[in-house]
Amino acid sequence: MDKYVIRGGHPLTGTVDISGAKNAVVAILPATVLANGVCRIENIPNIADVATALEILASLGAMVRRIDRHTVEIDSRTIVTQTVPHDLAKKMRASYYFIGALLGRFGKASVPMPGGCYFGVRPIDQHLKGFSCLGAKVMPMKNGMIDAQADQLQGSSVYLDMVSVGATVNIMLAAVCAEGTTVIENAAKEPHIVDLANFLNSMGADIRGAGTDVIKIYGVERLYGTTYSIIPDQIEAGTYMAAAVATGGDVTVCNVIPKHLESITAKLQEMGAEIEEFDEEIRVSASGRLSHCNVKTMPHPGFPTDMQPQIAVLLSLAEGTSIINEGVWENRFRYVDELRRMGADIQVDGKLAVVQGIPQLTAAPVKAMDLRAGAAMVIAALAAKGVTEIEEIQYIERGYEDIVEKLQKLGAVIERVTEDDPGLQQAL
């Protein structure tokens, strides 16, 4: 039971380097299954979800070689099974990308229902519909396993009933070596969709239109090994930007693609933050009380739902009343009870939250309810008066590389401690 112990009230200053994107790498690692050769992936974030994805690849029989902390080589020519083990699949949501990848390469896949953060029901009907459209036979679920098979996948037209990142990824993976052309309509447009398409194209795929809502995939016979560098993490960058603003700091967030951050930048400016954009950096500073604003989360290029808990912390500290409208998930306000412990004044009604700003949050023992909710607790603790302890940090470490060290470098007073560590009380 490890915890973060944070003494709030120190403005963050300096520079922080953003790691490779979690949601890109968790799609690209399964995609290496499709290669007839060695894939070298660079700028890999050192996070728990990557470790799990690599363990899954190794369990299938792929040769996985860590070159250094951020580079890995995968040779999937040695894969011997198409079944993903339960204990690994339940550790992460994106384990279901192995369905599309294994189906695309071997014409069969047996993958347990995935784990990951709970935001209410997370159906996968659109993924399964996509596989069926390509001619796969998807069996009724048995013992929590999803089984799919196809003699030869056939390109087809797939219309997604709602914009789904996961379904877009899974259908791309299955379709890339199918016979003929697949068209995904109402496709997701997130930066990690484009990154996956670029990766697959560098392996010899022919995918066009990624980043728009119509993606065309011209099936090819074989994919080859490649060398590829993962894009920077949009949400990690947004999280440090929000932390800078919450503490009234001045932080330059390095190794980012500013275009990916536009919706976040716009909201922070609306709240009164100063933002300067450079080619691969963004400088964020804030002073004085923030202004209230309304936020609606939407698929890209809208405001990302994965930044909703972090922006809620800022709105909790802003002058006046703000409304948050969660437009993607049915239940993404579970962190609000934790934030209330720190004094936040937030009322939730279904997918709406009404935030009445207060001048100061106060320290309290809180939990990370999920990955981004945990990041929000860290931001709240950095801004709060007093010493906050955050439990359940394993959620945070699924997606944030070296968060403690990166924050310490920015001047935050934060320690990672083990609960029975006698040094806990003296940690700060």
Which residues are tagged catalytic? 117
Full strand arrangement of the beta sheet holding 413-418: 365-367, 387-391, 2-7, 413-418
Nearest distance from residue 4's CB to ligand UD1, in Å? 21
Question: For residue 112, is the peptide bond before it cis, meaning its omega torsion is within 30 degrees of 0?
Answer: no
Stretch that binds ligand UD1, among 37-45, 123-131, 262-270, 380-388 (CB under 6 A): 123-131
Stretch that binds ligand UD1, among 4-12, 122-130, 218-226, 338-346 (CB under 6 A): 122-130
Q: Which of 39, 50, 153, 165 binds ligand UD1 (CB under 6 A)?
A: 165
Nearest distance from residue 285's CB to ligand UD1, in Å? 28
Return the residues of window 181-240 that contact ligand UD1 according to CB under 6 A. Answer: 188
Return the residues of window 78-97 that contact ligand UD1 according to CB under 6 A. Answer: 93-94
Token digits of residue 397: 């470490």
For the chain, the helix, strand and coil percentages under 3-state DSSP, each to the nearest 5: 35, 30, 35
Is position 285 an interface residue for ligand UD1 (rule: CB under 6 A)?
A: no
Is position 298 an interface residue for ligand UD1 (rule: CB under 6 A)?
A: no
Is position 329 an interface residue for ligand UD1 (rule: CB under 6 A)?
A: yes
Is position 305 an interface residue for ligand UD1 (rule: CB under 6 A)?
A: yes
Stretch that binds ligand UD1, among 71-79, 125-133, 178-186, 272-280 (CB under 6 A): 125-133
DSSP strands (E only) in 160-254: 181-185, 206-208, 214-218, 227-229, 250-254
Token digits of residue 304: 């990302």
Is position 111 an interface residue for ligand UD1 (rule: CB under 6 A)?
A: no
CA nearest to 84, candidates 121, 14, 33? 33
Question: Crossing angle of helices 308-316/262-270, nearest 10°?
Answer: 10
Nearer to ligand UD1, 19 or 285 (CB): 19
Is position 260 an interface residue for ligand UD1 (rule: CB under 6 A)?
A: no
Is position 323 an interface residue for ligand UD1 (rule: CB under 6 A)?
A: no
Q: Which of 123, 144, 320, 365 binds ligand UD1 (CB under 6 A)?
A: 123
Write out the H or E segment, with its range, that includes residue 281.
strand 281-285
DSSP-assigned states of every residue in 103-164:
HHHHSEEEEEPP----SS----HHHHHHHHHTTPEEPPPBTTEEEEE-SS-B--EEE-SS--
Stretch that binds ligand UD1, among 73-81, 116-124, 216-224, 348-356 (CB under 6 A): 116-124
Residues shown for the chain: 428
Bridge partners (DSSP) listed for residue 348? 353
Site residues, ligand UD1 (CB under 6 A): 23, 26, 93-94, 122-127, 162, 164-167, 188, 305-306, 328-329
